[in-house]
Chains A and B, each alone.
Chain A
Amino acid sequence: MKRNPLILVFIGAVVAAMLFAGIHIARKNRVAAAPGQLIGQTAPDFELQSLEGKTVKLSDFRGKAVLLNFWATYCGPCKIEMPWFVEMQKEFGPQGFQIIGVAMDDASTEDIAKFAKEMGVNYPILLGKESVGDSYGGVGVLPTTFFVDRGGRITAREFGLQSRSVFVDNIKRALGQGQAVQARR
């Protein structure tokens, strides 16, 4: 059974090119991690301005379980969650829990502050940047919420409006897993 060596070389080159392209694209995708791939990873640190003009880093909250909520003033579902978050901050705050809101819209700082005041927000609101959203896999859906344990690892993420119980379960898990992580250290 004779084979034309040129055909074999051609097939080999095609396979090699496909493997190279596949590996290259897979690597590229890893760099721009999808939110699901971030679970179990250290939450990307960031530095953003608060409504009060203070510079706030995520790493400032290391040791606490964090609910990181990307939202916008134009987002109706986000508006539903905010009163829940106010209550959850009160309920779980004493256990070492902190909610951080990151406003991802183009509204002015004054408008965001007005909105937050109307909602009675009792947790820091930071002025979001696309680069921060990108480091979390791109925030193409609002609300998007990440749960971070005391060790700074992402334990869960939720897209869109979820039931209150989903948030409570994730907060408890972030608090619990954080303790477990600390206990191992």
Chain B
Amino acid sequence: MILASGVNPHLAELSNKLIYSAMAVYLLAMFAYMFEWTFGSKGAVAVRSAEQATLAETAAAATLPVQAKAAKAAKSVTVTVASPGGGTTTLTRTALAGEGATVVTSGRGDGDAVDGPGAAGSSEKGDMAGRMAISLTVLGFLINASGVITRGLSVMRWPWGNMYEFSCAFAVSTVAAFLILLLAKKQVRWLGLPVVLTALLTLGLATTVLYTDSEQLVPALHSYWLGIHVTTAIISGGALHAAFVVTALYLGKDTYDKRIAAGKTTGPFNTAASVWDRLPAAATLDKLSYRINAMVFPLWTFTIIAGAIWAESAWGKYWEWDPKETWSFITWVAYACYLHARATAGWKGRKAAYLACLAFACFVFNYYGVNIFVTGKHSYAGVG
């Protein structure tokens, strides 16, 4: 008999402290987002987003002097884009001769829903709070990620061997999905509040209910497939989380639009209209949620395949309809349904959104439900 140890208690403790600190910083970020939303509700809600307005101004500024010099020097094209609602949008691309710069402006035609200006509205204080919130989110993200990394270093293995560890990593990947969208210059600052809220809830659950000390792994998890399979599962999970938040907001916004059209003045569940006004248009949200889900689907497919390969080397069969496998399959088929519905049946909007929510519910059940309530070969979650 050999006695195993190999845990660096200092790093393990540091990791715990970092996770708590991350929660504190996320909490501050949450307050900052709340301030942003509150300040934003005071200012008048501009119809065109600030970003669009400035773009248009730059374009105008850029073309004016050129036009003064020689109109021919600038090549300019305006493209008319028909939108699903029957309206049109225009996109103007201007190439400045000699300078090689191009400016793209987009304008909105009539009859097309308009994206709200974001949480801060036109309030400068709101914008300030929003910027602080983003900085805090980045800080929280870094601390959270360090917490996960030190946890891994404390035992020199991938830090996802039990549900506490998965959850900490989940929070990292959800926030990362949001930050990546921001980095990709998407107008998603309004996503900050729900994302930080989910991260807080996940970490809260992790530190209270799911906590386990940092230890080495059971032999069933000694495999490099742990690194591959679980890593991709966590990334998929984080992104699906983010997509779900967008889908839910889409449903809210769509309901709000319908209520306004019906002459009511509040959003669903009597929420304040100014909140919904500041969100992007329902169609934009719908598209964004589809994009994220479609991006993640191949990764999720890969996750399941990697799991099957791992199962083959651990148990001899790559698929045994173990509850975890079954629910991964159900989740996968549900997302395939959703993609089919959108791509081939032309389901846009609510019907597709309900499917996306259902698919996400399957994902969540697979994570919490199967780990906690159903026993199978995957019962190494370290709870119960």
Are A and B genuine complex partners? Answer: no
